[in-house]
Amino acid sequence: MNSSIYLGGGCFWCIESVFKKVNGITFTSPGYMGGKSDNPTYEEVCEGYTNHVEVVELQYDKTIDLNQILNIFFTVHDPTSINRQGADVGTQYRSAIFCKPEERSSIVNFIQELESQGIFKDKIVTEVNDIQKFFIAEDYHHDYFTKNPENAYCQAVINPKLNKLRSSFSELISE
């Protein structure tokens, strides 16, 4: 049986592109979570009207564990940046994890361990929340990088994240 977690680390195109390459990830879907309105649109989320986070639903099997997923997540985005990732600015780009209640303490412990190791110069600001209602993003956001590899954003932002994935986690990916 698959498990699910929802990760927000900037633009959902980036997070989805990275995790689509990871062995054990059986399904990805970009969407919105953690806001205050039903059925938000991309435009509403981007304008900051809803307080949703751009997240990616990850379903994974037993060939990968939660700590491996978290290691990848904290490597490919900046968990110390409040309401932004690079040039993407707004609450929709905040670092957030939406998990099952029984996973919360393990994730919080993982973050505390990262902080104690001094890997990041600044404090980790990643939110850890219980799973909330997930709103699937519009069709054109799904598998965006595969469909638009020559897009300037993909070249400038997603490719470096994929290179970081390849160099740090080659044993966990398939090309």
Across the chain, mean pLDDT equals 94
Q: What is the pLDDT of residue 113?
A: 96
154 pLDDT band, cuts 50/70/90, is: confident
* Residue 99 is among the residues annotated as catalytic for this protein: no
User: Which position among 11, 14, 99, 154 bears the catalytic label?
Assistant: 11
Domain annotation for the chain: domains and CATH numbers = 3-172 (3.30.1060.10)
Which residues in 128-167 are b (16+ Cβ under 10 Å) and which e?
Answer: bbebeebbebeeebbbbbeeeeeeeebeebbeebbeebee
pLDDT at 94: 96
